Amino acid sequence: MPYVTVGKENSGDISLYYEDHGSGNPVVLIHGYPLSGAAWEKQTAALLAQGYRVITYDRRGSGRSSQPTTGYNYDTFAADLRKLITHLKLNNFTLVGFSMGGGEVARYIGKYGSKGVSKAVIVSGVPPYLLKASDNPEGVDGSVFEGIAKAVAADRYAFFTEFFKNFYNTDVFLGKRISEEAVRASWNLAAGSSAFASLACVPTWHEDFRKDVAKIDVPTLVLHGDADRILPISASGERTAKLIKNAVYAVIKDGPHAITWTHADEVNAKLVEFLGKGIAKRAASGRSK
């Protein structure tokens, strides 16, 4: 199993587990809370079938990566991603972030620029800024995040059970677009994450990404479900799309937060189309020279 070392905590290395499959133009898939790279299985299969090199990894504290008690902030998350990209010597790659992973996409480009990045995709993402403030009246009241943190600290396993109901809108889609077994698999991934990370990640959800998003200068696809109960589309996807010049904005009708599973066919079609357009444009540019 491949790992990349991204730091140290006392006597131990902090290492990220990653998977690197296929060939062609690289696509880096960045998962959401409280899952791991395994949550991308439907997108991985679709992208491999289209001839892409697909790279997934587990954020620190998640999946098979190290579970330190340090580094749960977006500057560190972006630095971890940078080390993985450098380790793999990637170029002309696409960054795809789901939920929390959308924050990595924004902070990575905001901090390191877009050199080597061909495209960006933000799916059900946390950007641009979720916290209600004097300059961000559309945001969510801070008490909501405080309540979530208290619930996680009290009994994260019970919290995950309730969380996934709204993650997948199970009252609408259970037995139709998602099975009880698939929900249980997500719960198992969450339960296997670090207890420390489960709590430490919560305040990162209301990071201010507005300056980062404004620096995204590569073709970008913003995908969001209009029935997202975790990150309402009006506070996140809709605003992100407006802040990125010439962004392609696609709304998944009746889509919950986890459209990557419940509406995988629609998401995959839009993702493949977006990536393919980029290839077509580069090919046409090459022929014209």
Q: Is 134 a catalytic residue?
A: no
Q: Is the pLDDT of residue 253 over 80?
A: yes
Query: Is 193 a catalytic site residue?
Result: no
Residues in the chain: 289
Give the model confidence (pLDDT) of 129-138 as tens digits.
Answer: 999 999 999 8
Whether pLDDT at 204 is above 50: yes
Amino acid at 96: V
Q: Give me the mean pLDDT over the 226-253 stretch.
A: 96
CB within 8 A of 123, min separation 6: which ones?
Answer: 96, 97, 98, 99, 101, 102, 223, 224, 259, 260, 267
Q: Which residues contact 11 (CB under 8 A, 6 or more apart)?
A: none
Average pLDDT for residues 278-287, to the nearest whole number? 44
The tens digit of pLDDT for each residue in 179-199 reads: 999 999 999 999 999 999 999
Query: Which whole number is the average pLDDT over 146-152?
Result: 97
pLDDT band at residue 280 using 50, 70 and 90 as cut-offs:
very low
Higher pLDDT, 285 or 189: 189
Out of 31, 206, 224, 257, the active site residue is 257
Digit-coded pLDDT (tens) for 47-66: 999 999 999 999 999 999 99
Rg (CA), the chain: 18
Residue 127 CA to residue 99 CA, distance in Å, equals: 9
Q: Is 99 an annotated catalytic residue?
A: yes
Pairwise CA distance, residues 28 & 4, whole Å: 15
Which CATH number goes with the domain that contains 80? 3.40.50.1820
Q: Residues 92-103: what's their mean pLDDT?
A: 98
pLDDT of 170 over the 80 cut: yes
**Residue 289 above 90 pLDDT?**
no
Residue 201 makes CB contacts below 8 A (sequence gap 6+) with: 33, 34, 61, 72, 100
pLDDT confidence of 1, banded at 50, 70, 90? low
Residues 263-280, mean pLDDT to the nearest whole number:
88
Q: What mean pLDDT comes out for the span 8-25? A: 97
pLDDT at 108 exceeding the cut of 90: yes
Q: Which pLDDT value is given to residue 277?
A: 77
Residue 285 has pLDDT above 90, yes or no: no
Tally of domains within the chain: 1
> Average pLDDT, stretch 119-125?
98
Q: What is the mean pLDDT of residues 93-112?
A: 98
Catalytic hit among 193, 228, 236, 263: 228
70-87: average pLDDT = 98
- What mean pLDDT is reported for the chain? 95
Q: Please identify which of the residues 65, 66, 99, 194 carries the catalytic annotation.
A: 99
Among 8-17, 126-135, 275-284, the range scoring the smallest mean pLDDT is: 275-284
What is the mean pLDDT of the segment spanning 156-173?
98
Q: Which domain holds residue 107?
A: 3-288
Quick check: 282 pLDDT over 80?
no
pTM (predicted TM-score):
0.95
pLDDT at 90 > cutoff 60: yes
What percent of the chain stands above pLDDT 70? Answer: 96
In angstroms, rounded to a whole number, what is the distance separating the alpha carbons of residues 235 and 218? 23
CB-neighbour burial class of residue 284 (10 A; exposed 0-12, middle 13-18, buried 19+)? exposed
Tell me the β-bridge partners of 251. 224
